[in-house]
């Protein structure tokens, strides 16, 4: 049993066996202690922009019940195509919040390696399944904001939210 499973209902006089205790207690606690998952088995953090090329996209997910925690780092490569417009990322699991709700899912840090410049921002829900980054100055992060992304630049995002 994981923490995403409804616990059993017991009856008066029921004998608790080792199998029941293992399923109801040990397995649930194991879920709490489990290591974060690379790509949550199937999640690939798809983006509308950029196209990864030889860049590196690392993402890790921890799901405990309906609590979702995500760490995503995008390192732009020499063949990464920056695209145009705002960058939008998919969530590994749909959010409980609707598209009309302004929700800050977490934080973002950005590094322009060629200029040794850093920015911070917030991950903002765009739809129940997608989010965007808004820099601290209010600029939506994209192909030319807060700078024109290039080889070696880094976008790092940390999210925490409730699943639908």
- Predicted TM-score (pTM) of the model is 0.76
- pLDDT number for residue 98: 79
DSSP 28: H
Torsional sign, CA 54, 43, 143, 152: negative
- Rounded distance, CA 1 to CA 5, Å? 6
Contact indicator for 38, 60 with CB cutoff of 8 Å = yes
Could you tell me how many residues make up the chain? 164
Q: How many CA atoms lie within 13 A of 72 on its CB side?
A: 30
Rounded mean pLDDT of 25-35? 63
Question: What stretches of 65-116 adopt beta strand conformation (E)?
Answer: 67-75, 88-90, 104-112
pLDDT digit string (tens) for 51-106? Answer: 889 999 888 888 877 888 999 999 999 999 998 889 999 998 899 987 666 788 99
pLDDT for res 41: 44
């Amino acid at each position: 049993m994981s923490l995403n499973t409804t616990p059993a209902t017991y009856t008066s006089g029921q004998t608790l066996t080792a199998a029941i205790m293992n399923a109801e207690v040990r397995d649930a606690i194991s879920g709490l202690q489990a290591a974060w998952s690379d790509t949550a088995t199937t999640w690939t953090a798809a983006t509308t922009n950029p196209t990864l090329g030889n860049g590196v996209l690392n993402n890790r997910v921890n799901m405990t019940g309906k609590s979702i925690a995500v760490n995503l780092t995008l390192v732009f490569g020499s063949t990464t195509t920056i695209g145009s417009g705002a960058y939008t990322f998919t969530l590994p699991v749909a959010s409980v919040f609707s598209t009309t709700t302004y929700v800050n899912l977490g934080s973002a840090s950005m590094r322009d390696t060629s200029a040794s410049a850093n920015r911070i921002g917030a991950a903002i829900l765009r739809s129940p399944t997608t989010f965007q980054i808004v820099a601290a100055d209010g600029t939506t992060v994209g192909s030319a904001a807060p700078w024109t992304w290039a080889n070696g630049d880094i976008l790092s995002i940390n999210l925490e939210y409730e699943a639908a």
